[in-house]
Amino acid sequence: MALLSGLEQESLVLILIHYEIQCRHLWVNWLAFEETVTLTPVAPFDFDLTCELFGRGDRQVGGYCEGVFCVLLRVEGGLVLACVVSEGTVGRPKLVVELRSSRPISSHGVLVSREVLSYVFNLNFSLAGFYGQLEGDAVMQRIVHQLYGLMYPATSTVFEALVDSIVEQQISIKVAHAVEERLCRCFGDKLEVDGQVFSAYPSPRNLVDAGVEGLRGCGLSQRKAEYIYGIAELIVLGKLVLEDLKLQLDSDVVVAQLDALKGVGVWTAELTMLRGMQRLDVLPADDFGIRRVISSFYCGGRSIQAVEARRIAKRWGRWRGLAAFYLIAAEVRGLVV
């Protein structure tokens, strides 16, 4: 057999290198490392009801479908897909979580994933105190009877809650959710599992790299794109640490600090606190939707102002925001009380 010429040998080496690279790429894409963990929420907890009402529609960007809630988590500098199902009851809740990644998941990574999911679903919160507060409120008692175990989920970061709240300013929830899903698909980091590509919520770095025009391409107005870009840039530059606001116990101080950001008013700040900080005492009374549901169940549907909404909400004590969430859920479910 004739020996290969120098040029032929060089070509063969390049082909083999290219083949090896392609094999490594395919290996990373199809290989999934798995861990299974069990979470035990404080009872009562209705996982399926909670997800049915307020889980995003597209499971590949963090949503609920056919009994499974999927969300992509950032863990130890990588991505982990968490798929959560309920194997318990409302009175004895039990969640089973399958964690999958393209690289090994360390014991610390498992712990971080557990903590994030516990925070998102508020698994350590007891509804007993809230239900006890409602004993003198016949309307809320009837609602609770039909929504028993419903938990108010949170976003995994304050940044996510703040961006979503800005997106939802003065537009319908349906349109806002469509924009939020586009942001995830376009700019969120990706992980492929079993031929499906899952998208994480965009990081501040992702959104800065996208630029204002990139954000506008997802359906945001010029001003909202500028607001979101500006906040993301402050975080990337180290001038803003939103997660630290969780440590501030005075809600008025948190509102003031968020309100100081361009594009963030009191309504946006309060909604961010309710969603991203588990401040269930906060009532965004300036929100038209919240005033509408309070009026629908307590004022015969007439138009009410924020001051009247807050007066009615006093009966719910330090769970004002959670009670408003139950009213919204009751409206979504079409409950008659």
Q: Is residue 18 part of a domain?
A: no
92 falls within a domain: yes
H helices of 123-203, in order, are: 128-133, 138-146, 158-167, 173-187
Same domain, 160 and 270: yes
**CA separation (Å) from 105 to 78, 201, 329?**
9, 20, 36
Judge if 263 and 166 occupy the same domain: yes
| Distance (Å, whole) CA 101 – CA 288 | 41
d(CA 222, CA 106): 42
Same domain, 190 and 104: no
Hunting for tokens 């965004």 — which residue is that?
284
Q: 55, 63 in Cβ contact below 8 A?
A: yes
Domain presence at residue 283: no
User: Is there a domain that residue 178 lies in?
Assistant: yes
CA distance 81 to 99: 6
Whether residue 169 is found in the same domain as residue 117:
no
187 domain residue, yes or no: yes
Q: Residue 254 sits in which domain range?
A: 155-277
Domain match, 181 and 244 both = yes
Is 166 in the same domain as 212? yes
Chain centroid to Cα 199, Å, comes to 13
> What is the number of domains present in the chain?
2
Question: Does residue 318 fall inside a structural domain?
Answer: no
**Is 26 a member of any domain?**
no
Query: What pLDDT tens digit does each residue of the chain (337 aa) get?
Result: 344 455 444 554 444 444 443 433 333 444 479 999 999 999 999 999 999 987 767 888 989 999 999 999 999 999 999 999 999 999 999 999 999 999 999 999 999 999 999 999 999 999 999 999 999 999 999 999 999 999 999 999 999 999 999 999 999 988 999 999 999 999 999 999 989 999 999 999 999 999 999 999 999 999 999 999 999 999 999 999 999 999 999 999 999 999 999 999 999 999 999 999 999 999 999 999 999 999 999 999 999 999 999 999 999 999 999 999 999 999 999 998 8
Residue where a domain stops, chosen among 83, 102, 124 = 124
Could you tell me the end-to-end alpha-carbon distance of the chain, in angstroms, rounded to an integer? 90
- Closest of 54, 90, 56 to residue 70, by C-alpha: 56
The answer to whether residues 32 and 80 touch, using CB atoms and an 8 Å cutoff, is: no
The answer to the question of residue 328 being in a domain is no
CATH, residue 186: 1.10.340.30
| Tokens found for residue 89 | 């009851």
Given 277, 297, 317, which residue is the final one in a domain? 277
243 and 194 in a single domain? The answer is yes
Distance of CA 64 to the CA centre of its chain: 12
Count other Cβ atoms within 10 Å, centred on residue 208.
22
Judgement on whether residues 108 and 68 belong to the same structural domain of the protein = yes
Residue with tokens 């929830």, as numbered in its chain = 173
- Both 99 and 168 in one domain: the answer is no
